[in-house]
Structure 1
């Protein structure tokens, strides 16, 4: 890619010299978006070391997803550029594509193709959060973390959050019920965010406030596949038992495209989880599953 614009420590963006950068007293040169808007949204090559994580991300990086991307990008080109913005302090902040960015880092690459966006702090927070909110793989607890951050930063009420997100206020009310959990339980859920859904959260709060350690044990039983969420709640109501009430069988399958892994799926009771190797496939698969479920629903009327 000989003709692309590059954003590097030596030249900055669009031909700025190191002397100009040093004179500005910043890591990167000032960039006038108003006079150079023709470059916004167009891919440029950016040094990986100049990109910083977004403070608006509420979910942890998936090691499994990174490993799959590393293997994919070791042999294939980046299918779409990551998205970054220029912050007021001069740093470049990643808005979308952080797993691809981390995969490039682990591969020892020096540059990555990025699309530069002109965004305020509020616009960046909204994009990061609502982009994630639409991801089918996002758990209820991860959605809660995003809404909670948005609530704090804007001082919104639950109704205002619902209005901004365009969802029913009852959805926000259920998600925000996680707020009442003790910090020790939040710590565990941040590591195992899929263990508890918003439907269980209000009842979990009730018992976790009284006995946080027992609530944490219940979560670990769910994670281990020893209890369903409903059974874990019954276990909590009974004051806990030495052994789980029953085991839940989990079915797992790996889907391949030729020799490459395409997706992994698991089924436990009524809950199905699908993890795709390529995040760009998510919307395609989601639409296909939605269509299939609609057809099955119609056939069973």
Structure 2
């Protein structure tokens, strides 16, 4: 994602810190892992970085803080782990004199600059910067290379139902889908998300489904037949009897279609 390079990044935080030494080779065994690291998958797909370090060495120094019994890692955990796997004994490091609060802040910003964050991780990181360090949407945007409106829109993803968040984390739905789902109630979010996954709907198709759903909500209980038929994605017929009564018939071909219809109507199979 090219936009990552547009932000100020960690460098914007370092001028506030006291730099003790610009670059020093420090023994790997003396560096402690960062307790503020919020991610548990830092060892994921390290091999390309390991091979790069074997060929070129560590091109960018890690950030550390001097401790009584060694050094505390501030930023650069993947480089540290890859250097160990590559067989290095020492790693170039920049030594900073910073508080625990600043260590946590730099660590969080570093994670936000990674390329492999899913939208929920990204939004959660933004929210933590606001909650713990008083960041504004504008300041976050400056750090990661986004405008204020985009940061605000990403934060809105945290209003999604938890089940829908999981679908977004797992890339079963995309961020464009999720932005549309935010406008719905939690129950409708889940219903429409289920349709997106099963039907592999595009963002435009999802927009049309949500538009029809909202139209249905604005109508009386006697919903226009065309709207009902399009929403259910199955033929719907009305049969009128001689005395004025009648039936509304929804046709389906098999149990799978019946199950999909019931989910769209918010019913269970037992209710049929």
The TM-score bracket by the shorter chain reads 0.5 to 0.7
Report which of the two structures shows the higher radius of gyration computed on alpha carbons.
Answer: 2
Say whether residues 1:72 and 2:48 are aligned partners.
Answer: no
Please point out which of 101, 107, 122 is paired with 1:128. Answer: 107
C-alpha distance in 2 between matches for 1:218 and 1:44: 55
Say whether residues 1:117 and 2:93 are aligned partners.
Answer: no
C-alpha distance in 1 between matches for 2:119 and 2:107: 16
Say whether residues 1:196 and 2:196 are aligned partners.
Answer: no
* Matching residue of 2:163: 184
TM-score for the superposition, normalised by structure 2: 0.53
* Matching residue of 2:44: 63
Say whether residues 1:85 and 2:62 are aligned partners.
Answer: no
C-alpha distance in 2 between matches for 1:82 and 1:239: 55
State whether residues 118 and 169 of structure 2, in contact with CA within 8 Å, keep that contact through their aligned partners in structure 1.
no
* Matching residue of 1:209: 186
C-alpha distance in 2 between matches for 1:48 and 1:214: 52
State whether residues 58 and 83 of structure 2, in contact with CA within 8 Å, keep that contact through their aligned partners in structure 1.
no
Q: Which has the higher contact order (CA 8 A, sep 6+)?
A: 2
Moved more, 91-100 or 55-64: 55-64
1:83-135 C-alpha deviation (Å, 9 max, x unpaired): 22347x97744333222222234445554332222222332343334445556
C-alpha distance in 1 between matches for 2:196 and 2:70: 39
State whether residues 46 and 113 of structure 1, in contact with CA within 8 Å, keep that contact through their aligned partners in structure 2.
no
C-alpha distance in 1 between matches for 2:182 and 2:61: 41
- Structure 2: give runs of 5+ residues left out of the alignment: 1-17, 214-230, 235-255, 258-272
| Count of aligned positions | 197
Counterpart of 1:40 in 2: which secondary structure? strand
CA change 1:137–1:38 in 2 (3 A) is closer
- Structure with the higher helix share, 1 or 2: 2
CA RMSD of aligned residues (A): 4.2
CA change 1:239–1:52 in 2 (3 A) is farther
C-alpha distance in 2 between matches for 1:155 and 1:38: 24
Please point out which of 138, 142, 157 is paired with 1:162. Answer: 138
TM-score for the superposition, normalised by structure 1: 0.49
C-alpha distance in 2 between matches for 1:220 and 1:86: 50
CA change 1:86–1:178 in 2 (3 A) is farther
State whether residues 47 and 112 of structure 1, in contact with CA within 8 Å, keep that contact through their aligned partners in structure 2.
yes
How far did residue 181 of structure 1 move? Answer: 1.6
State whether residues 81 and 114 of structure 1, in contact with CA within 8 Å, keep that contact through their aligned partners in structure 2.
yes
Moved more, 98-107 or 208-217: 208-217
State whether residues 54 and 95 of structure 1, in contact with CA within 8 Å, keep that contact through their aligned partners in structure 2.
no
Runs of 4+ aligned residues of structure 1 deviating over 6 Å after TM superposition are 239-243
Counterpart of 1:117 in 2: which secondary structure? strand
C-alpha distance in 2 between matches for 1:127 and 1:206: 34
C-alpha distance in 2 between matches for 1:239 and 1:92: 61
CA change 1:164–1:174 in 2 (3 A) is closer
